[in-house]
C-alpha cells in the first residue's frame, strides 16, 4: 500500500481524486508532492472519462505532456517526476515561491494564456460549467436557495441556465486553466504567472477563466475584462464576448457555492435565515453580493 515518505509535511488542498499534498525536499530542491488515487465506484460520474471535468488523472497527463510547461501568460510549475503504480499516481513539482499578484495582472496573464494551442489530447476538459451544473441538477438544483429571500431570482437563473450555456458554447473557445483561483496561480516567472493544480485544463468559452478568477479578486469583472481583452491576440474575441463568458461563469459558480454552503448548515437547529452569518456561509453570501450587477445583467 502506498504511503507518504517520512519527513513529508502535509498541506491543505486535497480534492476528490487526491489522497494528499505534501511539501518535501528532493535532490536538494523544495518540491510539492501530490498523490492521485485510482477511482472507485463511489467517485463522481466521469472520473474515468478523459474529456470529463472530473477525469481523475488529468493533472498527471498535463505534466507528462509538457503542453503548458512553457505556455505564455501562465505556465505549469516545473515537473520533477511522475510515478504511476496500481493504486494511483504521484506527482512531484518544484515548489513555487508565493507572489501576491494584483487581479488586473492575473487577468492579463489569463488573456495571453487563452491563445495557447493545447493540441488534440483526448484528456482535455470540455463543457466544464455545464458538467458542474449537471451534477447540481442530479441533486435537485439549488434547493436550499429556494428557501431564501432570493428564491425567485435563483429559480429564474436556474430555469434559464440552458440558454446561457448555449450562448457560451457559441463564443470563441480558448485554452483555460479551469480552476484559476489566486491560490492556484501563486508564482511569477518573467512577465507571466506560474500555475498549479492543472486538473481541469481544457478549452472553454472565452472569459470563463476570468469569471472564475473574479470570485477571488478585489477587482470587479469590468476592469478585469479590460485587462484580459487587452492581452488577447487581436480579433480573437470582443469585449462583449469576454464579458458574457465571465459573467455566466461567475454568477452560476457563486450561486452554486452559496447553495452548497447553505445546505451544509440548513438541517441544524434554528431557522435558515438565522444562519446567514454563520462563518461557513457568510463568505459565500458576500461573494454572491459582489455579483449583484452581473446577476441583474443575466436577468435583464
Considering the domain boundaries, does residue 2 fall inside one? no
Same domain, 118 and 239: yes
Same domain, 257 and 127: yes
Looking up residue 182, the CATH number of its domain turns out to be 3.90.1200.10
Considering the domain boundaries, does residue 3 fall inside one? no
Same domain, 247 and 273: yes
Terminal Cα-to-Cα distance of the chain (whole angstroms): 56
Same domain, 110 and 88: no
Same domain, 107 and 33: no
The stretch 84-90 carries a mean pLDDT of: 95
pLDDT per residue over 164-193, tens digit each? Answer: 999 999 999 999 999 999 889 999 988 899
Q: Which of 47, 74, 94 is the endpoint of a domain? A: 94
Whether 117 shows a pLDDT value over 90: the answer reads yes
Query: Looking at the 3D structure of the chain, how many domains does it have?
Result: 2
Same domain, 26 and 52: yes
Same domain, 178 and 242: yes
Considering the domain boundaries, does residue 4 fall inside one? no
Q: Which of 76, 94, 112 is the endpoint of a domain? A: 94
pLDDT per residue over 268-285, tens digit each? Answer: 777 888 889 889 999 999
Considering the domain boundaries, does residue 169 fall inside one? yes
pLDDT per residue over 31-44, tens digit each? Answer: 999 999 999 888 77
Number of CB atoms found within 10 A of residue 33's CB:
22
Same domain, 124 and 209: yes
Considering the domain boundaries, does residue 109 fall inside one? yes
Looking up residue 83, the CATH number of its domain turns out to be 3.30.200
Confidence of residue 15 (pLDDT cuts 50, 70, 90): low
Place of cell 463522481: 44
| pLDDT of 270 | 77
Residue range of the domain that includes 42: 9-94
Considering the domain boundaries, does residue 208 fall inside one? yes
Same domain, 129 and 173: yes
| pLDDT of 14 | 63
Same domain, 74 and 203: no
Same domain, 80 and 131: no
Could you tell me the pTM of the whole model?
A: 0.93
Q: Which long-range contacts (CB under 8 A, 24 or more apart) does 98-103 make?
A: 98/186, 98/187, 99/186, 99/187, 99/188, 101/182, 101/185, 101/188, 101/193, 102/219, 103/182, 103/213, 103/214, 103/217, 103/218, 103/219, 103/224
Amino acid at each position: 500500500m502506498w504511503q507518504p515518505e517520512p519527513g513529508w509535511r502535509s498541506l491543505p488542498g486535497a480534492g476528490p481524486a487526491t489522497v494528499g499534498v505534501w511539501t518535501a525536499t528532493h535532490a536538494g530542491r523544495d518540491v510539492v508532492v501530490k498523490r492521485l488515487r485510482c477511482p472507485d465506484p463511489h467517485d463522481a460520474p466521469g472520473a474515468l472519462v478523459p474529456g470529463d471535468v472530473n477525469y481523475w488523472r488529468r493533472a498527471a497527463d498535463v505534466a507528462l505532456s509538457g503542453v503548458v510547461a512553457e505556455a505564455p501568460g501562465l505556465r505549469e510549475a516545473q515537473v520533477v517526476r511522475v510515478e504511476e503504480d496500481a493504486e494511483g499516481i504521484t506527482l512531484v513539482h518544484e515548489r513555487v515561491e508565493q507572489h501576491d499578484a494584483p487581479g488586473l495582472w492575473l487577468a492579463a496573464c489569463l488573456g495571453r494564456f487563452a491563445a495557447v494551442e493545447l493540441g488534440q489530447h483526448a484528456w482535455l476538459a470540455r463543457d466544464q460549467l455545464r458538467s458542474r451544473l449537471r451534477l447540481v441538477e442530479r441533486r435537485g438544483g439549488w434547493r436550499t436557495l429556494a428557501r431564501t429571500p432570493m428564491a425567485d431570482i435563483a429559480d429564474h437563473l436556474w430555469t434559464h441556465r440552458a440558454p446561457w450555456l448555449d450562448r457560451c458554447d457559441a463564443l470563441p473557445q480558448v485554452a483555460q486553466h479551469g480552476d484559476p483561483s489566486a491560490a492556484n496561480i501563486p508564482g511569477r516567472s518573467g512577465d507571466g504567472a506560474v500555475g498549479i493544480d492543472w486538473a481541469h485544463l481544457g478549452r472553454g468559452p472565452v472569459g470563463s477563466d476570468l469569471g472564475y478568477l473574479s470570485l477571488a479578486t478585489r477587482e470587479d469583472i469590468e476592469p478585469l475584462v479590460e485587462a484580459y481583452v487587452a492581452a488577447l491576440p487581436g480579433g480573437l474575441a470582443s469585449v462583449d464576448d469576454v464579458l458574457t463568458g465571465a459573467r455566466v461563469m461567475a454568477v452560476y459558480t457563486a450561486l452554486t457555492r452559496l447553495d452548497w454552503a447553505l445546505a451544509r448548515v440548513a438541517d441544524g437547529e434554528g431557522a435558515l435565515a438565522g444562519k446567514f452569518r454563520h462563518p461557513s456561509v457568510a463568505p459565500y453570501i458576500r461573494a454572491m453580493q459582489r455579483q449583484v450587477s452581473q446577476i441583474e445583467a443575466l436577468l435583464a
